[in-house]
Structure 1
Amino acid sequence: MFNRLPGLARFILALTAINLVVFVAFRGFFWAAFRETLANASWADLLKALYLGLKFDLRLALLLCLPLALLGWIAPFDPARRRARIAWLAYLTAVQSVVLLLYFVDFGHYAYLRVRLNASLVDHLTPVGVAARVAWETYPLGFSFLGLLFLAFAFLRIVRHVAQRTLTPALALGKWPKRAAVAALAALYALGIYGKWSWYPLRWSEAYFSSSEAVAALALNPVLFLMDTAENRNLPYNTDKVREHYAYTASLLGVKTPDPEKLDFARYVTPAGKPSVQYNLVVIHLESFAAFKSGIFGNALNATPYFDAIAKDGLLFTNFFVPEVPTARSVFTMITGIPDVNGATTASRNPLVVNQHTLVNALEGYEKYYFLGGSATWGNIRGLFAHNIPGLHVFEEGDYDAPQADGWGVSDVVLLEKAEASFRREKKPFFAFIQTAGNHRPYTIPDDRRGFELAQMSDAALHDNGFDSLAAYNGLRFLDYALESFFIKAREAPYFRNTVFVMYGDHGNPSTLQTPWEQLRLTGFHVPLVIYAPALIKRGRRIDLTASLPDSLPTYLSLLGVPYPQYGAGARSARPRRRRSAFFPDRTRWNPRRRVLSPAGRGRRAPIPLPLAGGRGGRSRALSRKSRRAAPPARGALRDFEIHALPQSSSTSRSEGGRSGVTAQGQRWASLVALALAFAGLYVRALTAPPPGGFAPLQTAARAASTTAPRYETRLLPNSTAASVHSATAAEISGGRLRAFWYGGSREGASDVAIYTSVYSLREENWNPERVVVTREFAQRHLQRYVRKLGNPVVGRDSKGRLCLYFVSVSVGGWAGSAVNLMVSEDEGETWSPPRRLVASPFLNISTLVKGVPLLFSDGAVGLPVYHELLGKFGELLRLDAEGHAVGKTRLSWGQSSLQPVIVPRSDKEAVGFMRYSGDPPNRVLMVRTGDGGVHWSPPAKTELPNPNAAIASVLLSGGPLLLVFNNAEEDRENLSLALSTDFGSTWRVAHRFEGDSGSTQAPVPEYSYPWIMQDRAGDVHVLYTWGRSRIKHVRFNRAWLEGRP
């Protein structure tokens, strides 16, 4: 049959098969190269990921052949003709070369960041000249280029041979059979691109069916994912504006330890009381449920009698608002606590933000459900739910024993029946999110109405109560009927009494009445919220406090007595505050002459004067009540509310780069091309680079005599100029001395920060006055680039015995945009070579920081522990040759939560590493191990030692034990302790507390952090750390004191 098909059809089928084989081979190689990241994945997940990946690969193969399939039937473009064939061969070879290049880039991108290639890479590239120079200096571009030429030539030869074999006259086939075959092939071709037999096509979110990032990476196709992320690449954010208003926002959200430098909004909430039983939590998302349409808010048409009755028996929040109107935005905001106000597209449709924190995961031991009448591919919502909630049970189209009512899926009655039946079978506590969809155009009422009767209503009555059609009125009535049917059955089930039910409107609708609320479009934001829990709420109550959708999960978890880590914008709605606010985008325009806000849309009436706070508005407004005891607004009255402009980044300050137009765009993409071969070099390098040698022999310290008296003493290092100091480091130098370094200035990150040094005499037991080693201006002059600020210094020695000072500098942005620089001294730190920037990152050498002690390998190379904060938070061991040039690196961790590695060798092959932890509770020090000289490292594991996202320090004493200095708490840095381990990190005991005891001298600011620990040649141990951000403190003790600790 194949030989009877038209020649063009045979050629396209053969090309598709060739491309598919190539792409599948790349996927297999990707799996083999990064199999360690998939070690914990189940075979079921792996097989599903490979199946989805095959469908993505088939789509790409078909898309590459699509121009040929569309044009090849036209005589001038028929590849059977010689000239047309040459043109098509050139096109196919060129496009395949680009695809191969992107696969190489993807390999390097994932090897470095554990993230598949996406369009955000372009935004991190500097101009072409810099990109090309770094690529040329760092990677074997010549070899990479030759390799790509070879692959492109091989592909051309294969395709030309296939063309000669397939573009020959076909065997005779009847006219109608031929047409039928071509039509069938065209249908299959379209289905292959569509990807699935469903209402929605195959989308990137299908790959995120698992909570495992590695499984999703295995399923994705890098070329298609690059295209999927391209439209979201330029969504702007303004860090400077966030920093400007950080103090107020942190106060509003109740952040206990604000950090203006890191812009940290994290807080851990522990409810005051906890019920005696574990309550289930069922959240019912009510589609298009505007507050003004329900009877409980005064609507005369009585469209929601059952909801109104439930509201009277529960907690009714009368002033509850959503930040935005479309459904997908409300779902994202509800689950993450972050208002989705992106302008270009909804956040759930953005692959770059698919990884989110959700408070749902605070419900430990709960089964978790998501019910949707249609496909979870809608709005790519599957990625938001399934990827971020481990073990989630998803019910969608195909899981219901009923036909679809319309494009939104089964009716809400069927949806709620399925949910209720699932709850009856559940034996464990459960959380469920039920997303109704029927109350939406076209307001379909199914044939199987389950006893529901349609109502008739005059147009005048509908108009006077805000309904724009009879269908909308009956659609809301049917949703209310579905709720009634659900609760009738639920009341009969055992789970009912131990369940908290939540019902909220996902957004409102425009009203037919031109009330002030409608003219300001508040009817789209004002929705009802009801919490119904017969066992917890004995009497119904109206709550008139203003609340917003981000407050939802914090409120529900507090009611359940569940502690949770909060990173979003919400807070529990019953929490007393000076002002309760709801946030939503400002869709109005400013009239400077009349000092009023006017609705931005067409066909609106005259501007409505509003009291403004703070002058001209930005992109958001806050709606707050004047009086907590005021009644809910009737018929759109605004008398009880104030509207305040919140200054945020406006459209005119979104991006300076936007002014350069096509030139900037072209330059960024040109930079991507310039670096593509660099990543190809990384691809080759990863396979051919020799493994690092073992660790160098450890320094042996003198063993004190058993009769030595215990010694423990403390002192503060000199500081005569800097208001704030931080991050000390030290090394032993000749003459029985220590040389310490730290940075100081008016505050962390300020432009006046400099790096200081001071020398301590072990015999005279005093520190000499500090002096400046590096200033911002000094670094800027010698590095020949703009330097915005300086950061952590780290000192060590190279194989030649020279003192090496590594320090962090930042040119643009925050610490995520940092680089590491090196200065060398051959006279124990009296004079230094000019600073030189280390090439440590394929991302044009940004996002590399230092904190840990450098170490030596047996071949003379320096091992420098570094970490990254751009697009991830992870540690690496950077390998430097004898001249301080980066020649390799080894990953110590992956993901978003491990920082500031400290490596402690015990032999030439064995070492242990510790890292600061910045993830979800419980907060613990992370540990990794190697048994082959640093070639491979174990996955990070949490130890028993607490860590409040703070630096740690460790040293192995000559003859043991292993010591570790850390903040012995999960949330603050108000104590600093010493732990020791006699089994090289397997078990620990806390031997001493340096700071935090009631009897110790307290710093003005109770923060004791960023420790450094070392042992000198005489055997004494020295600990330096930040003392209240105003001084560096030095603690010295000997082994006799340590052995005397209980």
Structure 2
Amino acid sequence: MSNIPKLIRWILWTGLIFLILFTLMRLGLFILSDQQSYGLGQLGGAFFLGLRYDLRMISILLLPMLILGSIPPLHPFTSKAGKKFWMTILGIAVVFALFFFSVDFAHYAYLEQRLNASVLNYLEDAKISMGMVWQSYPIVRMVLGVLLAAALLIWFFNRVHKSVSKQTFTGTKRSRIVGFIACFLVCGFFIFGKFSQYPLRWSDAFAQGSDYKAAVSLNPFESFFSTLKFRHSTYDVQKVKEGMPLVGNNLHFTPTSDPLSFSRMVAPRPGALTSKPNIVLVICESFSAYKSSMFGNPLNTTPFFDSLCRQGILFDRCFTPTYGTARGVWATITGIPDVEMPKTASRNPGMVDQHTIINNFNDYQKFYFLGGSTSWANIRGVLTNNIDSLHLYEQDDYSAKKVDVWGISDKNLFLEANKVLAKQEKPFFAIIQTADNHRPYTIPEEDQAEFKKGNYSHDSLTRYGFESNEEMNAFRYTDFGYRKFMEAARKEKYFNNTVFVFVGDHGIPGNADALFPHAWTAQRLNTMHVPLLFFAPGMLAPQRIHTISSQVDVLPTIAGLSNIAYRNATLGKDLLDSATMGFAFVFDPDNSMTGVVKGEYLYRKQLVTKKEELVSIINNDPVPNDAAHAAIMHDMGVLTDALYETAKYMLFNNKKAGK
């Protein structure tokens, strides 16, 4: 050791300390994530890949230390100013790293996704976001923990520096040069990441066939800074034109002479309701299908909603295009998948002007009810700019008191909406957006006497998709809210001529293996699988329909039921039209993936690496490697590309009539 320069020794010790820290954080994530599908022994490849990602990030710090530390005024052992400079840099690096890991842990606990650039979206709604964070997490303890850990690590770096400074160096000038070159090459190799023409990329984590393994592999620095490059969106006009015939065929319309026009007039169809029904569309927060009673969850969390489904038309293979409330509301209102990355379309000023089928409900009163504030994610701009003569109700418009950061409780939101709707003399189209099935999982005091909380063992909860009794009870409380709403609505005269539509804004990640094939968990289909219910006793015969459907199909189907002519400029279709083809486009902005659910398969493509996969959604059998399935993969890939390019184009080019 004596012939190794002190600077190199100190760099090696620094790298080792950071590597231990990063490894402990990865182990902590594994322990906290409580994934029953994988044991530690099954994640060896993920941990090894994670080690490579960690060494890359650490080497990005060590390489400047090597180069700048070799300059005499900045040398940490021959210059007092140099020592002070590097101790300050290391202190900043330690605090920065611990802060990133803390935010990453909270981000993963909330979304089951490693920290990525989409977290910057929350800064645009800082007051609401910070309120939710403050009410959901022990912020004071987390900050104190970060400061204590940072102080301990900084003290340890000082101890290592003192220890190395007392050691002797017996090497020559040549050994200094050799040591510098060797250290430089090793750091350079770790930054590049592998013996290959191409460097190690964050997207390599997804070559392991499981989003959970990818999450274990990545660290927050790799995932965050790698996703920053997708902050600016565009579209390829030529690809849109090329994909138009395929898109038109799958949506059952004939393209016009304009290869960039997706607008088509749809006439009232046979079998529609002729009573000019009222519409109540409920966008249900985090209504994950596998957690509910309709799909056999033994915890029986939604018995009332299950009873509604047995009396209405339930589409049991409905998917949201992507994950996230803002994206779900966007897709429902506009009929276009929100494929913006990492920001949502609602936050993009260039996309705020959008056509919506709601405006084709002529002579209908339009209402939107939200328990909190629509300033969140610029949803107010999307609604008020695009829905004609909208009556918008927010938390300050109700007599009920605010219970948490999300505003009034869902139960009170339903009752307040019912009071308004009961007074209407004209037909109405009303949207009610819920929020209680969300951290901090508040059950209002006023309901705790009637709403009885459940209590299950941790094993039962995790086996059937829940992380805690608090989350499970919040899910049950949504069912309580639906029951209270329907009980109140049945007493009003509008009820008998109203179509109630319920759709989840998105699902929730978790272990769905007890109820669905493994792909629903491993490929995160459970984050997009939601119930879609059309309920109108006396007007709609009960059915359970297995056609693959999408959130973007909601408004075209409502319009088709309502016996109106409408302009469809969406990527949605009328699900009750016998000519409809069942498929759903899916998009994962956090992992930069697009795909299609169609027939028995999920197809996904990684946008950076172009890696493709085809998995079964009906069983756990591997997809055969034969010509027939290669053809299926090819066709689904072409459809995915066409829908993705079209969605990107339509986000900018779906303006209201006359625009």
The answer as to 2:505 corresponding to 1:488 is: no
Q: Distance in 2 between matches of 1:621 and 1:551?
A: 28
Note if contact 1:618-1:649 (Cα within 8 Å) is conserved in structure 2.
Answer: no
Q: Distance in 1 between matches of 2:124 and 2:526?
A: 39
- How has the CA–CA distance of structure 1 residues 622 and 473 changed in structure 2, closer, same or farther, with 3 Å as cutoff? farther
Partner of 2:537: 534
Partner of 2:587: 585
Partner of 2:347: 349
Which residues in structure 2 correspond to 1:462-611 (within 5 Å)?
Answer: 462-513=461-512, 515-537=518-540, 539-577=541-579, 579-585=581-587
Q: 2:269 aligns with which of 269, 272, 292?
A: 272
Partner of 1:368: 366
Q: Distance in 2 between matches of 1:402 and 1:380?
A: 24
Unaligned runs of 5+ in 1: 1-193, 202-230, 591-596, 600-609, 627-631, 655-813, 815-870, 874-895, 898-917, 921-1046
- How has the CA–CA distance of structure 1 residues 366 and 611 changed in structure 2, closer, same or farther, with 3 Å as cutoff? closer
- How has the CA–CA distance of structure 1 residues 196 and 467 changed in structure 2, closer, same or farther, with 3 Å as cutoff? closer
Note if contact 1:517-1:638 (Cα within 8 Å) is conserved in structure 2.
Answer: no
Which residues in structure 2 correspond to 1:130-169 (within 5 Å)?
Answer: none
Partner of 1:324: 322
Deviation at 1:196, TM superposition (A): 13
Note if contact 1:332-1:338 (Cα within 8 Å) is conserved in structure 2.
Answer: yes
The answer as to 2:254 corresponding to 1:256 is: yes
Residue 565 of structure 2 aligns to which amino acid in structure 1?
P
Deviation at 1:625, TM superposition (A): 12
Deviations 1:71-128 (A, max 9, x none): xxxxxxxxxxxxxxxxxxxxxxxxxxxxxxxxxxxxxxxxxxxxxxxxxxxxxxxxxx
Q: Distance in 2 between matches of 1:234 and 1:410?
A: 36
Deviation at 1:195, TM superposition (A): 13
Note if contact 2:606-2:612 (Cα within 8 Å) is conserved in structure 1.
Answer: no
- How has the CA–CA distance of structure 1 residues 332 and 386 changed in structure 2, closer, same or farther, with 3 Å as cutoff? same
Deviations 1:247-270 (A, max 9, x none): 1112222333433x5411111001
Deviations 1:306-332 (A, max 9, x none): 000000000010110000110000100
Q: Distance in 2 between matches of 1:621 and 1:313?
A: 43
Note if contact 1:321-1:549 (Cα within 8 Å) is conserved in structure 2.
Answer: yes
Note if contact 1:281-1:499 (Cα within 8 Å) is conserved in structure 2.
Answer: yes
Deviations 1:476-525 (A, max 9, x none): 10000010011111111111000000011111111235522100110001
Q: Distance in 2 between matches of 1:598 and 1:258?
A: 27
- How has the CA–CA distance of structure 1 residues 426 and 637 changed in structure 2, closer, same or farther, with 3 Å as cutoff? farther
Note if contact 1:281-1:432 (Cα within 8 Å) is conserved in structure 2.
Answer: yes
Q: 1:383 aligns with which of 368, 375, 381?
A: 381
Partner of 1:289: 287
Deviation at 1:543, TM superposition (A): 0.5
- How has the CA–CA distance of structure 1 residues 240 and 648 changed in structure 2, closer, same or farther, with 3 Å as cutoff? farther
Residues 617-626 or 491-500, more deviating: 617-626
Q: 1:645 aligns with which of 620, 634, 637?
A: 637
Q: Which structure is higher in RCO with an 8 Å CA cutoff and minimum separation 6? A: 2
Deviations 1:125-147 (A, max 9, x none): xxxxxxxxxxxxxxxxxxxxxxx
Deviation at 1:387, TM superposition (A): 1.1
Which residues in structure 2 correspond to 1:716-795 (within 5 Å)?
Answer: none
Deviation at 1:618, TM superposition (A): 5.3
- How has the CA–CA distance of structure 1 residues 585 and 284 changed in structure 2, closer, same or farther, with 3 Å as cutoff? same
Q: Distance in 1 between matches of 2:331 and 2:611?
A: 17
Note if contact 1:336-1:358 (Cα within 8 Å) is conserved in structure 2.
Answer: yes
Residue 321 of structure 2 aligns to which amino acid in structure 1?
P
Note if contact 1:317-1:544 (Cα within 8 Å) is conserved in structure 2.
Answer: yes
Q: Distance in 2 between matches of 1:405 and 1:648?
A: 42
Q: Which has the higher helix share?
A: 2
SS in 1 for 2:395: coil
Deviations 1:34-93 (A, max 9, x none): xxxxxxxxxxxxxxxxxxxxxxxxxxxxxxxxxxxxxxxxxxxxxxxxxxxxxxxxxxxx
- How has the CA–CA distance of structure 1 residues 872 and 438 changed in structure 2, closer, same or farther, with 3 Å as cutoff? closer
Quick check: which has more Rg, 1 or 2? 1
Note if contact 1:510-1:523 (Cα within 8 Å) is conserved in structure 2.
Answer: yes
- How has the CA–CA distance of structure 1 residues 440 and 337 changed in structure 2, closer, same or farther, with 3 Å as cutoff? same
Note if contact 2:512-2:520 (Cα within 8 Å) is conserved in structure 1.
Answer: no
Q: Distance in 2 between matches of 1:294 and 1:318?
A: 11
- How has the CA–CA distance of structure 1 residues 294 and 258 changed in structure 2, closer, same or farther, with 3 Å as cutoff? same
- How has the CA–CA distance of structure 1 residues 195 and 466 changed in structure 2, closer, same or farther, with 3 Å as cutoff? closer
Q: Distance in 2 between matches of 1:611 and 1:479?
A: 31
TM-score by length of 1: 0.37
TM-score by length of 2: 0.57
Q: Distance in 2 between matches of 1:528 and 1:623?
A: 26
Q: Distance in 1 between matches of 2:564 and 2:239?
A: 34
Deviations 1:450-481 (A, max 9, x none): 61111111111111211111111100100000
Residue 489 of structure 2 aligns to which amino acid in structure 1?
A
Q: Distance in 2 between matches of 1:272 and 1:254?
A: 14
- How has the CA–CA distance of structure 1 residues 570 and 393 changed in structure 2, closer, same or farther, with 3 Å as cutoff? same
Residue 325 of structure 2 aligns to which amino acid in structure 1?
T
How many residues are treated as equivalent by the alignment?
414
Q: Distance in 1 between matches of 2:471 and 2:605?
A: 38
Which residues in structure 2 correspond to 1:950-969 (within 5 Å)?
Answer: none
Note if contact 1:585-1:621 (Cα within 8 Å) is conserved in structure 2.
Answer: no
Which residues in structure 2 correspond to 1:815-826 (within 5 Å)?
Answer: none
Note if contact 2:400-2:408 (Cα within 8 Å) is conserved in structure 1.
Answer: yes
Which residues in structure 2 correspond to 1:966-977 (within 5 Å)?
Answer: none
Residue 267 of structure 1 aligns to which amino acid in structure 2?
R
Residue 269 of structure 1 aligns to which amino acid in structure 2?
V
Q: Distance in 2 between matches of 1:622 and 1:357?
A: 33
Q: Distance in 2 between matches of 1:638 and 1:372?
A: 44
The answer as to 2:394 corresponding to 1:392 is: no
Note if contact 1:546-1:624 (Cα within 8 Å) is conserved in structure 2.
Answer: no
Note if contact 1:369-1:433 (Cα within 8 Å) is conserved in structure 2.
Answer: yes
- How has the CA–CA distance of structure 1 residues 291 and 233 changed in structure 2, closer, same or farther, with 3 Å as cutoff? closer
Note if contact 1:612-1:645 (Cα within 8 Å) is conserved in structure 2.
Answer: no
Deviation at 1:357, TM superposition (A): 0.2
Partner of 2:150: none
Partner of 2:58: none
Q: Distance in 1 between matches of 2:238 and 2:457?
A: 55
Which residues in structure 2 correspond to 1:578-727 (within 5 Å)?
Answer: 579-585=581-587, 644-646=636-638
Q: Distance in 2 between matches of 1:300 and 1:530?
A: 21
Q: Distance in 1 between matches of 2:562 and 2:613?
A: 28
The two structures, once aligned, show a CA RMSD in angstroms of 4.0
- How has the CA–CA distance of structure 1 residues 447 and 523 changed in structure 2, closer, same or farther, with 3 Å as cutoff? same
Q: Distance in 2 between matches of 1:421 and 1:364?
A: 23
Deviations 1:710-742 (A, max 9, x none): xxxxxxxxxxxxxxxxxxxxxxxxxxxxxxxxx
SS in 2 for 1:545: coil
SS in 2 for 1:467: coil
- How has the CA–CA distance of structure 1 residues 423 and 518 changed in structure 2, closer, same or farther, with 3 Å as cutoff? same
Q: Distance in 2 between matches of 1:625 and 1:249?
A: 23
Note if contact 2:588-2:594 (Cα within 8 Å) is conserved in structure 1.
Answer: no
SS in 2 for 1:432: strand
Deviation at 1:633, TM superposition (A): 5.7
Q: Which has the higher strand share?
A: 1
Deviations 1:788-822 (A, max 9, x none): xxxxxxxxxxxxxxxxxxxxxxxxxx9xxxxxxxx
